[in-house]
């Protein structure tokens, strides 16, 4: 007989009842081949004694095994493992030695974070400077919590949850269309829009719907890395054009367009990622003409539209005429908190229909409570008030960080004060290699987790996105002091 | 001069300040070509008079236009639209007539819902019978709300939000691995798992990571439609094998495997979707052998493991030996509420690494609050208690619905009482065509939005998933009465 007392060790502290633990363990032993097909089990009394459990517990376990057809009762002989069961070996999620699963699709991935920072465990004493996220201390978490507690909303939402999701809660699509018409001069209705998990999912879905392998896609250089990766993974050929103080170079775009057919252009017109440059009005208009002449799609990623300090933002390209060629993408996440993943995708009906289908395959439905909460925030004006409040605070922080950088870090960095948004693009002078700066900063308790860019000879070489919006005055001062110290 | 008083109509009830409304409207008029490049604007005093607004408002608007470079100041002559601006036409997201955007990738999509039901607006009087969702009345929305309000959790979470997301909150990955080890006899740690938005996203990500166009994939017939669509959209060739009372037909699978190389097999071993059949222990073991012999990947979608009424569920295939060939997928959404989109994907390290990268491209990060809340529920045992409570209630509902169906609907349907899960698979007799049943039911206030299956000659032809878990006794009785009435 097998030493069951050593093989089965029920643990009374576990959540699961003892009989279930015994059942599962016996199944594992059968699956492993430790208990061979045809083996007789000890009688229930003997097994209970061996395992030091109640006999009833063993009976329950055996009954379970019987009903699951692992064992059978043989009259006058007791229970045995069904002889016909094929034998198998111990479980493992680890591939066997020298075994590498063949994963053909090669997903390209660039880490935005330096290995030095990535390896480091973060403690509460560290100052973390992100890529440009909103300040979670301002986030309307109280309002979110109240939607869950309010019996009237809660009842309505529970009814909505029972229904199928066609690209987001209808109420939110409607509220969003009104919000965008007022703030961005769009002219859309709820049927022109779908809600996504942040702008990220909108970029992904639009790319997967529009692109087929071999299509040419133009992006800026540098570009939002995750957008480039999405296009690459969709099988597109990436063609890059440089970006300067007025946005992407439209002359060069024109030359590219004359040379080959381009399916899609991806741009970030406001506070370009990573450089924070805003595209000039003149270039925008020329861009619109080029789209029309060359019949290409434009993906306008306007994730940062709502945060502008010096003047109002320039209306999106999507607010002008484009015959359904612009896919407009935006983010509520950037307005609220990184964990509240809500964005939107606006496109011509044919594209939107496919986008809804793809979204359903990726992510069956949204978070109905969160979508309802946001719709209420828009309708009641809370979102606008929240934006205004954040804008004022971020503008102060933008002034302060630029002042600190000028006073204490001019020897090491160049930067242009951004017109809005949540981060400054720091270009470190050649002498200060960005990877060394990140590693030195990490050792001093400053974790710079924003995007970096390194490409020899490029004007943006050695650049780092320094997100200021979520930092207190003290943290900003401390962060700049550390940077100043390590670049001495 | 243009009739500005008719072209610009500031609305004092709007959220946005009047000067912004005027600015945006003027930009639109320039973009539309109504105001041509080089046109002079009326002086600020005159414009203020025309629009019946304060002169300061007009000055602000003009300054905005200046800073955005739409207009320029000409000494002694006033403001004019910059002459070099190219003229463009009115905005629209509607493609121009006879213009169809070329969307090359043909996404296949099958509606799960009949057109008769889809067209119908749902009212609060209707009884909605879904595909098999949990009862939202049991959902721990109070606990979710408390995580947002609790200052200690909230502070911790806010710190976590600042960090990058590597496939889900570490705490939740750890709690989930413990939960799965205890309930499913897996033997995994937090590094074997990523958190996704429900099982749906896990299926999508695994398929995109594993498959390349032209790969052969085997699925059951019928199958969970959205899984088949995901594989199809990944470019796979779909080969189907029938499913009977013991799950998929393993003999036929063996024949298929001998004929051609198969990359992936997708199965739902517990309460197969849509038929609710549970795969027998013997077939499971043969399946494991076939995977090993033919070196194929198995995607085990075990979304419904936790709801079992007659006996404990059979341990997943993934709990046996498989050398990294099984991708195990599960759902917390099914345990909690359709809006709480949390699932998981467990796979060998090579696959998981790529899955994390792809997840980041699709959906930058999860909902940190929700993930934290769920981790706490698992750690404190609340999730197990919630499952036990739901299990008891659903088991009663399962008994009741099966009893009702036997008593009142035997003339019209055949069904096998499921061993667990949240729905019954009703096979309507030939005489009662499913589309007619759905349409008649909808007219009588009964909306059947579960999956249907129609394939002439198939044993599952004319089938409907009838989700009972979310229905009260009265609703179940009423629903069966309506079905009985319309099939008289």
All structural domains of chain A: 4-81 (1.10.10.10), 115-133+385-486 (3.90.1150.10), 140-380 (3.40.640.10)
- CB contact (8 A) between residue B84 and residue A315: no
Mean of the per-residue pLDDT values of chain B: 86
Name the residue among B315, B303, B220, B202 with its Cα closest to residue B265.
B220
Distance (Å, whole) CA B470 – CA B479: 13
The pLDDT value given to residue B104? 31
Return the number of CB contacts < 8 Å for A and B.
373
Of A159, A340, A369, the CB nearest to B124: A159
Q: How confident is the model at residue B112 (pLDDT cuts 50, 70, 90)?
A: very low
Distance (Å, whole) CA A340 – CA A388: 19
CA distances from B437 to A163, A481, B111, B122, B442 (A): 20, 73, 17, 17, 8
Percent of chain B with pLDDT over 90: 52
- CB contact (8 A) between residue B198 and residue A20: no
Distance (Å, whole) CA B371 – CA A105: 30
The pLDDT value given to residue B39? 86
- CB contact (8 A) between residue B88 and residue A285: yes
Of B92, B100, B368, the CB nearest to A339: B368
**pLDDT beyond 60 at B129:** yes
Give me B66's structure tokens: 């200046």
The pLDDT value given to residue B477? 96
Residues 6 or more apart in contact with residue B6 via CB below 8 angstroms: none
Q: How confident is the model at residue B8 (pLDDT cuts 50, 70, 90)?
A: confident
Distance (Å, whole) CA A80 – CA B128: 47
Which secondary-structure segment (H or E) carries B391?
helix B382-409
HSE-CB of A410 using CA atoms within 13 angstroms: 5
The pLDDT value given to residue B102? 31
Name the residue among B17, B96, B170, B231 with its Cα closest to residue A323.
B96
The pLDDT value given to residue A116? 57
B252-309 pLDDT per residue, tens: 999 999 999 999 999 999 899 999 999 988 899 899 999 999 999 999 999 989 898 8
The pLDDT value given to residue A96? 37
Residue B260: how many CB atoms within 10 A of its CB? 10
Closest-CA distance, A205 to chain B, in angstroms, reads 8
SS3 category, B345:
strand
Transcribe A408-423 into DSSP letters.
HHTTTEE----SBSSE
Whether residue A360 contacts residue A165, with contact meaning beta carbons closer than 8 Å, is answered with yes
The pLDDT value given to residue A90? 41
**pLDDT beyond 70 at A100:** no
Q: Which residue of A has its CA nearest to B230?
A: A361
Distance (Å, whole) CA B241 – CA B262: 13
Burial B454-466 (b: 16+ CB within 10 A, else e): eeeeeebebbbbb
Percent of chain A with pLDDT over 70: 91
Closest-CA distance, B50 to chain A, in angstroms, reads 22
The pLDDT value given to residue A93? 55
* Mutant choice from B101, B235, B289 vs A, greatest count of A C-beta within 10 A: B101
Q: How confident is the model at residue A461 (pLDDT cuts 50, 70, 90)?
A: confident
A280-295 pLDDT per residue, tens: 888 998 999 999 899 9
Q: What is the DSSP letter of B190?
A: G
Distance (Å, whole) CA B140 – CA B374: 10
Higher pLDDT, B159 or B247: B247
Q: How confident is the model at residue A13 (pLDDT cuts 50, 70, 90)?
A: low
Distance (Å, whole) CA B40 – CA B266: 68
- CB contact (8 A) between residue A185 and residue B363: no
Whether residue B129 contacts residue B397, with contact meaning beta carbons closer than 8 Å, is answered with no
CA distances from B424 to A109, A241, B130, B275 (A): 44, 57, 11, 8
The pLDDT value given to residue A414? 95
- CB contact (8 A) between residue B91 and residue A226: no
- CB contact (8 A) between residue A384 and residue B321: no
Of A88, A288, A326, the CB nearest to B289: A88
Closest-CA distance, B358 to chain A, in angstroms, reads 7
Distance (Å, whole) CA B219 – CA B227: 9
The pLDDT value given to residue A97? 32
Residue at token pair 């009465």 = B481
Which secondary-structure segment (H or E) carries A196?
strand A193-196
Closest-CA distance, B81 to chain A, in angstroms, reads 12
Give me A376's structure tokens: 């209420």
Higher pLDDT, B155 or B470: B470
Q: Which residue of B has its CA nearest to A169?
A: B339
Residues of A in contact with B183 (CB under 8 A): 16
Closest-CA distance, A182 to chain B, in angstroms, reads 7
- CB contact (8 A) between residue B95 and residue A137: no
Query: Is ipTM strictly over 0.95?
Result: no
SS3 category, A407:
helix
Of B31, B67, B311, the CB nearest to A68: B311
**pLDDT beyond 80 at B120:** no
The pLDDT value given to residue B254? 96
Beta bridge partners of A420: A308
Percent of chain B with pLDDT over 70: 91
The pLDDT value given to residue A110? 39
Give mean pLDDT, residues B245-252.
Answer: 94
Whether residue B419 contacts residue B391, with contact meaning beta carbons closer than 8 Å, is answered with no
- CB contact (8 A) between residue B364 and residue A96: no
Q: Which of A94-98, B40-44, B121-125, B191-195 has the highest mean pLDDT?
A: B191-195
The pLDDT value given to residue A3? 77
**pLDDT beyond 90 at A415:** yes
Of A88, A320, A368, the CB nearest to B91: A320
* Mutant choice from A70, A91, A100, A331 vs B, greatest count of B C-beta within 10 A: A91
**pLDDT beyond 60 at B101:** no
B340: left (phi over 0), alpha (psi -120 to 50) or beta: beta
Distance (Å, whole) CA A409 – CA A430: 14
Q: How confident is the model at residue B320 (pLDDT cuts 50, 70, 90)?
A: confident
The pLDDT value given to residue B4? 82
**pLDDT beyond 50 at A393:** yes
Beta bridge partners of B221: B242
Residues of A in contact with B339 (CB under 8 A): 157, 161, 365-369
Higher pLDDT, B164 or A118: B164
The pLDDT value given to residue B108? 35
- CB contact (8 A) between residue B449 and residue A154: no
Give mean pLDDT, residues A226-248.
Answer: 93
Q: What is the DSSP letter of A228?
A: H
Name the residue among A322, A31, A81, A355 with its Cα closest to residue A210.
A355
The pLDDT value given to residue B110? 39
Of A304-308, B92-96, B160-164, B257-261, the range with the lowest mean pLDDT is B92-96
B345-370 pLDDT per residue, tens: 999 999 999 999 999 999 999 999 99
Give mean pLDDT, residues A45-57.
Answer: 91
The pLDDT value given to residue A67? 81
Q: Which residue of B has its CA nearest to A118?
A: B164
Supply φ then ψ for residue A191, to 5 degrees: -80, -5
CA distances from A233 to A223, B32, B446 (A): 16, 37, 44
Q: What is the largest CA-CA distance in chain B?
A: 93
Which secondary-structure segment (H or E) carries B413?
strand B413-414
Of A211, A233, A361, the CB nearest to B229: A361
């Amino acid at each position: 007989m097998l030493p069951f007392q050593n093989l089965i060790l029920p643990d009374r502290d576990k959540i699961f009842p003892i009989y279930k633990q015994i059942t599962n363990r016996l199944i594992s032993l059968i699956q492993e081949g430790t208990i061979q097909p045809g083996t007789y089990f000890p009688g229930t009394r003997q097994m209970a004694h061996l395992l030091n459990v109640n006999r009833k517990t063993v009976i329950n376990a055996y009954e379970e095994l019987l009903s699951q057809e692992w064992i059978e009762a043989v009259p006058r002989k007791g229970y045995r493992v069904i002889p016909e069961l094929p034998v198998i070996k111990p479980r493992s999620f680890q591939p066997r030695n020298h075994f590498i699963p063949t994963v053909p699709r090669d997903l390209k991935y660039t880490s935005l974070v330096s290995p030095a920072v990535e390896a480091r465990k973060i403690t509460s004493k560290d100052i973390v400077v992100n890529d440009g996220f909103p300040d979670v201390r301002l986030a309307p978490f109280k309002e979110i919590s109240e939607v869950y507690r309010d019996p009237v909303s809660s009842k309505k939402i529970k009814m909505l949850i029972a229904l199928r999701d066609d690209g987001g809660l209808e109420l939110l699509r409607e509220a969003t269309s009104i919000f965008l018409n007022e703030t961005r001069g769009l002219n859309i209705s709820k049927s022109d829009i779908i809600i996504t998990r942040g702008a990220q999912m909108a970029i992904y879905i639009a790319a997967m719907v529009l692109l087929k392998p071999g299509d040419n896609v133009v992006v800026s250089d540098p570009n939002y890395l995750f957008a480039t990766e999405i296009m690459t993974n969709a099988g597109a050929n990436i063609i890059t054009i440089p970006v300067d103080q007025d946005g992407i170079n439209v002359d060069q775009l024109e030359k590219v367009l004359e040379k080959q057919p381009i399916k899609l252009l991806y741009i970030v017109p406001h506070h370009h990622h990573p450089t924070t440059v805003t595209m000039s009005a003149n270039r925008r208009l020329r861009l619109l003409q080029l789209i029309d002449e060359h019949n290409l799609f434009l993906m306008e990623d306007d994730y940062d539209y709502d945060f502008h300090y010096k003047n109002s933002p320039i209306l999106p390209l999507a607010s002008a005429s484009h015959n359904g060629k612009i896919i407009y993408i935006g983010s509520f996440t950037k307005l609220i908190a990184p964990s509240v993943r809500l964005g939107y995708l606006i496109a011509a009906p044919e594209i939107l229909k496919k986008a809804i289908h793809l979204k359903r395959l990726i992510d069956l439905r949204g978070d109905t409570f969160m979508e309802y909460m946001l719709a209420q925030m828009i309708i009641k004006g809370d979102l606008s008030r929240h934006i205004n409040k954040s804008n004022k605070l971020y503008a102060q922080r933008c002034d302060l960080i630029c002042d600190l950088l000028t006073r204490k870090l001019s020897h090491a960095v160049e930067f242009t004060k951004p017109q809005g948004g949540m981060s400054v693009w720091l270009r470190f002078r050649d002498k200060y290699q960005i990877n060394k700066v990140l590693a030195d900063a990490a050792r001093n308790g400053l974790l710079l987790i924003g995007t970096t860019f390194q490409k020899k000879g490029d004007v943006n070489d050695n650049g780092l996105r320094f997100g200021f919006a979520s930092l207190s005055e003290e943290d900003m001062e401390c962060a700049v002091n550390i940077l100043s110290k390590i670049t001495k």
